Amino acid sequence: MFLAIILVGTVLSLSVGAVADRSQRDGMPFWAAGLALHTLAYILFSLRGQIPDFYSIVLANTLLSCALAAFTEGLYSFYQSRAPRKLIWFPVAFIFLNFLTLLDQINARIILGSLVFMLQCLLTLRFMWHKRRQTAGRGKYFLAAGITVMTALLSLRAAGAASGGAAAMLSLTQPSLMQTLTFLGALTSLLLLAIGFVLMSKERADELNQILATRDGLTGLANRRRLNNVLASEWARANRSDLSLGLIMIDIDQFKDYNDQYGHQAGDECLQSVALAIQSAAQRAGDLAARYGGEEFVLILPDADAGAAQRVAESLRKSIESLGLEHVRSPAGRVTASLGVAALTDGCFNNPEALLRAADAALYRAKHDGRNQVQVAPESFPPVTAGEKIIAKLVQLVWRPAYEGGNAHIDAQHRELFRDVNALLNAMLSGLETDKVAALVQAFIADVAQHFQDEEAIISDAGYPGSAAHAAQHRALIEKATTLADHFRAGTLSLGELFEYLAHDVVARHMLIADREFFPYLQPPS
């Protein structure tokens, strides 16, 4: 049995050592060293009576303690945690010094050695328990079983020695039931420890390979392969169960110019920052953020209709802009993104690729119409009823550079109000409840009122002679908008009529006609 333990330990230590790679930081070198020390300890045990007791007792037990310490070090390395080396290696010195003084006291040696070895085993088990959620697969169970067998065997020997068991019964060199149990337990635990740790390493490698196969290396988001698989699966589920499926395609505006201006390293950092914002937008468990390729990303939103996906997209657009990444070649002066939204509703797309193409087409419109905006694929909205036809005839407002008046603050607010009124239209088309639409309308009117207030101060400071009359127009527009909103909430005004006034009278007609009268006063003197 001594020979069996020595042969098995030798084969295991050589095998594990042959595949150990320090660069992997998986603890395998420590584990191979632990197996080798364990084997060497049993070689010295087997030579009891043939070599000095110092080697077969003191050094052998010290090597066994070293083996347990090496196993613990290997686990800390496996989990890439900082090892408490004083705690791990103190028992080794303790065993060495105390066994020197207990050479002639076998029962005391067995009790002391068993207790110290048990504490080392319990330290390892405690660490494994804390890391149990970070360990996938079944290897950890083999490893825990091996340590448990070793602990049980040690406790049995300590109990036997404490109860005054005969030295011959407890000795490793005298045939007895305890000796047989000791050898069988040692062999079993040795096999379980080696198999468990190797299996843990393999399972972690498999998990890492799976991550590498489905994760984009630069941004950490899902890669194209993972995107295609999830999109096909979610589309099939939504189509089968008559559910909605939202899709957002995101493209960083003028990213090539950003790379040319700041360099590819800065470009990579920009991609990573935008990816974090996109990942933050994937708030629900089923949402998936993926890198589509280059500076394009995709966000899959299960159970989200066009309105919900559009709101997520608009929030994400603002989040990317608020990153404040300087971009001198962008009209906004910072990094922005254009977003296209599509949603599967009532089987409006025949396959996942059609849904993706619709989002891509909406993204193209967003970039073509001035960038830094959200566009929704029109086929994403459900068919309208007769009572909704007035809304269906309404179209989104498109901001163009020609609409700018020369004041950065006013132009930015005009662009934002264009986006807000389009978001309001999308919310209306998505079938949002009346009270929620009313709340959006109220917020929009408040934004318009704030813009009017800022605009009045700017044109007055610019010396525009018609500033008082223009302010009077503002008050009339806000008063009528507020009245119409009250009628809508009371059910005496249709949603289409309310939007018609807000979009065309308050935004388009006033900002593109009345406001142009003061534009010359905003231009710097030549």
Give SS3 for 470: helix
Measured distance CA(87)–CA(307) in Å, rounded = 59
Q: Per residue in 99-112, is it b (16+ CB within 10 Å) or e — as a string?
A: beebeeebbebbbb
Q: Is the pLDDT of residue 129 over 80?
A: yes
Which CATH number covers residue 265?
3.30.70.270
Residue 380 has pLDDT above 70, yes or no: yes
Q: Are residues 297 and 361 in the same domain?
A: yes
What's the pLDDT at 347?
Answer: 65
pLDDT at 46 over 70: yes
Of the residues 348, 383, 418, the one at which a domain ends: 383
Sign of CA dihedral 278, 279, 285, 287: positive
The rounded percent of the chain whose pLDDT value lies above 90 is 46
Q: Examine the domain organization and report whether 410 and 372 are in the same domain.
A: no
The rounded percent of the chain whose pLDDT value lies above 70 is 92
pLDDT tens track for 393-410: 455 677 777 788 888 899
- The answer to whether residues 131 and 18 belong to one domain is yes
Dihedral sign for Cα 271, 277, 282, 284, please: positive
**Length of the chain measured in residues:** 526
pLDDT at 123 over 80: yes
Average pLDDT over residues 357-366: 93
Determine phi and psi for 288, rounding to 5 degrees.
-130, 125
Burial class (CB in 10 A: 0-12, 13-18, 19+), 357: middle
Give me the pLDDT at residue 119, please.
95
pLDDT attached to residue 390:
39
CATH code of the domain covering residue 159: 1.20.1070
State whether 140 and 258 are in the same domain: no
Q: Is 482 exposed, middle or buried (0-12, 13-18, 19+ CB in 10 A)?
A: middle
Q: How many CB atoms lie within 10 A of CB 512?
A: 14
The mean-pLDDT minimum among 11-15, 82-86, 393-397 falls in 393-397
Interstrand relation of 374-376 and 337-344 (parallel, antiparallel or unpaired): parallel
pLDDT, mean of residues 253-281: 95
CATH code of 497's domain: 1.20.120.50
Mean predicted confidence (pLDDT) in 385-390: 39
- Please give the pLDDT value at position 175: 67
pLDDT at position 326 over 80: yes
Can you give the pLDDT at residue 322?
A: 94
DSSP letters spanning 461-495? HTT-TTHHHHHHHHHHHHHHHHHHHHHHHHTSS-H
Residue with structure tokens 């945690």?
A: 81
Residue of higher predicted confidence among 487 and 270? 270
8 Å CB contact between 362 and 248: no
Backbone torsions φ then ψ of 222, nearest 5 degrees: -60, 145
Q: What is the pLDDT of residue 223?
A: 93
Contact call for residues 407 and 461 (beta carbons, < 8 A): no
User: Which of 53-67, 104-118, 386-400 is predicted least confidently?
Assistant: 386-400
229 in the same domain as 163: no
Determine the longest span between alpha carbons in the chain, in angstroms.
114
User: Which helix (H) or strand (E) element contains residue 113?
Assistant: helix 106-130
Contact between residue 211 and residue 33 where contact means Cβ atoms under 8 Å apart: no
* pLDDT computed for residue 381 by the predictor: 66
Q: What is the pLDDT of residues 193-248, one digit of tens each?
A: 888 888 888 888 787 777 777 889 899 999 999 999 999 999 999 888 888 899 99
Asked if 258 contacts 252 with a C-beta cutoff of 8 angstroms, the reply is yes
Shared domain check, 20 and 158: yes
Tokens of 196: 């468990």
**pLDDT of 383 higher than 60:** no
For residue 452, the model assigns a pLDDT of: 93
The pLDDT-based confidence of 392 (bands split at 50, 70, 90) is: very low
Look-up of token digits 């608009």: 314
Same structural domain for residues 42 and 142?
yes
pLDDT at residue 387 is higher than 50: no
**Are residues 367 and 287 part of one domain?**
yes
CA gap 232, 215 in Å, rounded: 17
Supply the mean pLDDT for the chain: 86
Q: b or e along 495-511 (b: 16 or more beta carbons within 10 Å of the residue's beta carbon)?
A: bbebbbbbbeebbeebb
Residue where one domain finishes, among candidates 194, 214, 234: 214
How much is the pLDDT for 239? 86
d(CA 44, CA 450): 87
Domain extent, residue 49, equals 2-214
Check pLDDT > 60 for residue 169: no
Looking at the structure, do residues 199 and 271 belong to the same domain, yes or no?
no
The DSSP symbol for 334 reads: B
Both 25 and 156 in one domain: the answer is yes
Neighbours of 323 (CB within 10 A): 15
pLDDT for the residue numbered 26: 77
The last residue of one of the domains, among 189, 214, 239, is: 214
Q: Do 177 and 136 lie in a common domain?
A: yes
Residue 134 is predicted with a pLDDT of 78
477-501: pLDDT as tens digits: 999 999 999 888 888 887 777 888 8
Close Cβ partners of 21 (under 8 Å, ≥ 6 residues apart): 28
Q: How many structural domains is the chain composed of?
A: 3
pLDDT of amino acid 118: 94
Whether 100 and 228 share a structural domain:
no
